Amino acid sequence: MRFPFGLLVLLVSLAIGFLGGRAGAQGKPEKDKLRIGYAARAVTHSIPFVASEAGFFRDEGLQVEVVRTAGAVSPMALISGDTDFATMSAYLLIPVAVRSPEVAMVSGLTRYASMTLVSRPEIRSAKDLMGGVVGLQRPGDAYEKNARSALQHLKLNPDKDVKFLYLGTNDAMWIALDQRRVSATMVSPPATLFARKAGMNFLVDLADLKIEYQGSTLGTRRSLLKNYPNFALRTMRAMVRGIHFFKTRREDTHKILAKFLGTRDPEALEESWRYGADMPAKPYPVDSAVQAVLNHLAEGDPRYAKHKPGEFIELGPLGELDKSGYIDRLYAAPGK
């Protein structure tokens, strides 16, 4: 049976459009549309949304859609072409990048572990936490790594002095703490404010310890960087402007964060802004911080120990912007 030529042409055209990142006839993304995913409704993942709301992608001639690609979906959505860029933790990105070198990080939004270990009001010290239950997301993930660092700072043995209860989500962790199902958990803004108002005790703020650990990153596909360098540059320029806006336009950022985080509590928004305002103006991934993530992954699978940070980093668009002086001029502008 002969395959209908018209149908064959249609299928081939669709395949080319998908594999080429929705490429158009002129070799550019169709209508300059851009999809950016974010792995969690967290302050450090908000920059694409901030940049979109502030109109920076539009200024670049890009039609952007910012979509939730929760957890492990984020790197897979990049591979499939469902998103062009995505914010996610290096802990999520690296395992997928090992299996598919097509995925790489093009910027790093956080360099240090920054969660806080909070406990029930009656638990005021490491001694009180002995024998207690710590609520976490999933075994071996970044939350557990941060919890172990905090517990060790308190001179507690995470494997002997406490028990871990895995609850799946941030919301479930907070509810479990509030309902006395766990003795302590890890939180970040705006949950830190809710914990403070509820009378919880702040046992360890990891931000004070300056423990290197590459958290939120912006990832993409290497083929996109190669085939559409101008598209990638425009995207990165909008992101850099988003960071600048976040750091320098406090009240306006509050309004955008209210939409992204789903809260209008002014104290929660201020706490979130203060937390995020430390993002670097030049958001380079840091080799030593990426190495810390590799070391963490190697604890569960020794094969990660053979990899080096540079294997997962592509600095083309960010490096070009920085070299041109664009970022320096942005922060030197009047009214910064």
- For the stretch 220-237, pLDDT in tens is 999 999 999 999 999 999
Mean pLDDT of all residues belonging to the chain: 89
Per-residue pLDDT for 298 more than 60? yes
* Predicted local confidence at residue 334, as pLDDT: 64
* Predicted local confidence at residue 39, as pLDDT: 87
Overall average pLDDT of the 112-140 stretch: 94
User: Which SS3 state, helix, strand or coil, does residue 297 take?
Assistant: helix
Share of the chain above pLDDT 70, in %: 90
**Region of residue 274 (left: phi > 0; alpha: psi -120 to 50; beta: else):** alpha
Cβ neighbors of 166 (< 8 A, separation 6 or more) are 136, 137, 138, 139
The per-residue pLDDT for range 306-325, each reduced to its tens digit, is: 999 999 999 999 999 999 99
Overall average pLDDT of the 43-49 stretch: 94
* Predicted local confidence at residue 141, as pLDDT: 83
Give the CATH class of 14-111+213-332.
alpha beta
- Tell the residue number behind the tokens 């071996």, with chain if given: 140
- Cα distances (angstroms) measured from residue 127 to each of 132, 151, 163: 10, 11, 14
Q: How confident is the model at residue 71 (pLDDT cuts 50, 70, 90)?
A: confident
Q: How confident is the model at residue 31 (pLDDT cuts 50, 70, 90)?
A: low
The per-residue pLDDT for range 77-116, each reduced to its tens digit, is: 999 999 999 999 999 999 999 999 999 999 999 999 989 9
- Tell the residue number behind the tokens 């929760």, with chain if given: 70
Per-residue pLDDT for 7 more than 60? no
What are the strands of the beta sheet with 103-108, ordered from one edge?
63-68, 33-38, 85-89, 216-221, 103-108
Same topology, domains 14-111+213-332 and 116-209? Answer is yes
The fold adopted by the segment(s) 116-209 is D-Maltodextrin-Binding Protein; domain 2 (3.40.190)
Share of the chain above pLDDT 90, in %: 77
Q: How confident is the model at residue 16 (pLDDT cuts 50, 70, 90)?
A: very low
* Predicted local confidence at residue 336, as pLDDT: 52
* Predicted local confidence at residue 237, as pLDDT: 98
> Which parts of the chain are beta strand (E)?
33-38, 63-68, 85-89, 103-108, 116-119, 133-136, 163-166, 184-187, 201-205, 216-221
Domain extents in the chain? 14-111+213-332, 116-209
Per-residue pLDDT for 2 more than 60? no
* Predicted local confidence at residue 335, as pLDDT: 53
Q: How many CB atoms lie within 10 A of CB 66?
A: 24
Overall average pLDDT of the 194-219 stretch: 93
Q: How confident is the model at residue 333 (pLDDT cuts 50, 70, 90)?
A: low
